[in-house]
Amino acid sequence: MREAIGVVRGVAMSEGAGVRIARLLGTQQLQAFDPFVMLDHFDSDDAADYLAGFPDHPHRGFETVTYMLEGRMRHADNRGHSGVIGTGGVQWMRAGRGIVHSEMPEQEEGRMRGFQLWVNLPARLKMSEPGYQEFPAERLGRETREDGVAVVVVAGATSRGTAGPVAAPHVDARYLDVVLPPGARLEEPVPSDHAAMLAVYEGSIAVGSGGEVGALSLVALGPGDRVVARAGGGGARFLLLAGRPIGEPVAWGGPFVMNTREEVMQAFDDYRAGRF
Ligand code: CO
């Protein structure tokens, strides 16, 4: 059974043109959790917190995963790709060798809530062709278990065979969104060669044999072959994120995630020279 080896509270910060987010991974407390680089949670029903959005900005060397729990976000890039990610939808974007994109709210009021995860790419794929996997809510996997436990599967598959639409074979990613009624328990095998973490965003859970962890927290899990979590009295919602570590040096500079400092500088040069 995997135990919590670290619990990190979300750090409030401003991203893009002034969007209020809570960073769960990618801070001083927990800089990266191979193969994951960053995890942000956004949640506000005050449009002033999100209206400014994320205007044009570049990425290289990794994948961004936007999962909208609530709200609508319009996406457009410099290769002519655009679309809207709606409530419950996911966009898994490979930035690869370079993309310039914007992510702007497609609403002027109401709640906007979701996650952006950065999944690293191994050196052999950092300069690969950019691409997208995009799916609306109805295409995601859905599993109902005993005691009212519900699991939405974005990527990978559960131990009971419910598969998500996203394929991320380079890290064999699993991206599950779990709802636990009060006192209910999730037990889910996760291969022992995977790194696994939980992002608690509603209520609280007890992880493994440990004490309760409340929202908004990231729980880094230690070694083992299964994840066990039990909801507190108010129930819980959390993400279970797992993937095979890449095991390479990580050089993260602004919107670029490469293997070396020199490659990050090269990315800045290429972006400024219009080579994305
Ligand atoms: Co972006």
Domain CATH for 172: 2.60.120.10
pLDDT of 187 > 90? The answer is yes
User: Given this model, what pLDDT does residue 156 score?
Assistant: 97
- Distance (angstroms) between ligand 1 centre and the Cα of 76 equals 10
Share of the chain above pLDDT 70, in %: 100
pLDDT of 185 > 90? The answer is yes
User: Given this model, what pLDDT does residue 28 score?
Assistant: 86
Quick one: average pLDDT of 214-233? Answer: 97
CB 108 within 8 A of CB 63: no
- Distance (angstroms) between ligand 1 centre and the Cα of 35 equals 18
Quick one: average pLDDT of 142-158? Answer: 98
- Distance (angstroms) between ligand 1 centre and the Cα of 101 equals 6
Neighbour-count burial for 235-262, b at 16+ CB within 10 Å, e otherwise: bbbbbbbbbbebebebbbeebbbbbeee
| pLDDT band (50, 70, 90) for residue 32 | confident
- Establish whether the linkage from the previous residue to 35 is cis, with ω within 30° of 0: yes
- Distance (angstroms) between ligand 1 centre and the Cα of 40 equals 12
Contacts of 18 (CB under 8 A, 6+ apart): 52
User: Given this model, what pLDDT does residue 31 score?
Assistant: 85
Task: Compute the distance between CA of residue 47 and CA of residue 113 in angstroms, rounded to an integer.
Answer: 11
- Distance (angstroms) between ligand 1 centre and the Cα of 58 equals 7
Task: Compute the distance between CA of residue 107 and CA of residue 168 in angstroms, rounded to an integer.
Answer: 30
| pLDDT band (50, 70, 90) for residue 47 | very high
- Distance (angstroms) between ligand 1 centre and the Cα of 95 equals 9
H-helix or E-strand spanning residue 57: strand 54-59
Contacts of 147 (CB under 8 A, 6+ apart): 181, 183, 184, 185
Quick one: average pLDDT of 139-158? Answer: 98
Looking at the structure of the chain, the number of domains it has is 1
User: Given this model, what pLDDT does residue 270 score?
Assistant: 97
Q: pLDDT tens for residues 87-102?
A: 999 999 999 999 999 9
Q: If we measure between CA atoms, which residue out of 249, 217, 243 comes closest to residue 8?
A: 217
What is the residue-wise DSSP string for 213-225?
Answer: EESSEEEEE-S-S
The domain in which residue 235 lies consists of 4-272
Average pLDDT across the chain, whole number:
97
- Distance (angstroms) between ligand 1 centre and the Cα of 110 equals 22
pTM above 0.95, yes or no: yes
User: Given this model, what pLDDT does residue 111 score?
Assistant: 96
- Distance (angstroms) between ligand 1 centre and the Cα of 187 equals 33
- Distance (angstroms) between ligand 1 centre and the Cα of 50 equals 14
Task: Compute the distance between CA of residue 251 and CA of residue 242 in angstroms, rounded to an integer.
Answer: 21
User: Given this model, what pLDDT does residue 30 score?
Assistant: 87
- Distance (angstroms) between ligand 1 centre and the Cα of 19 equals 13
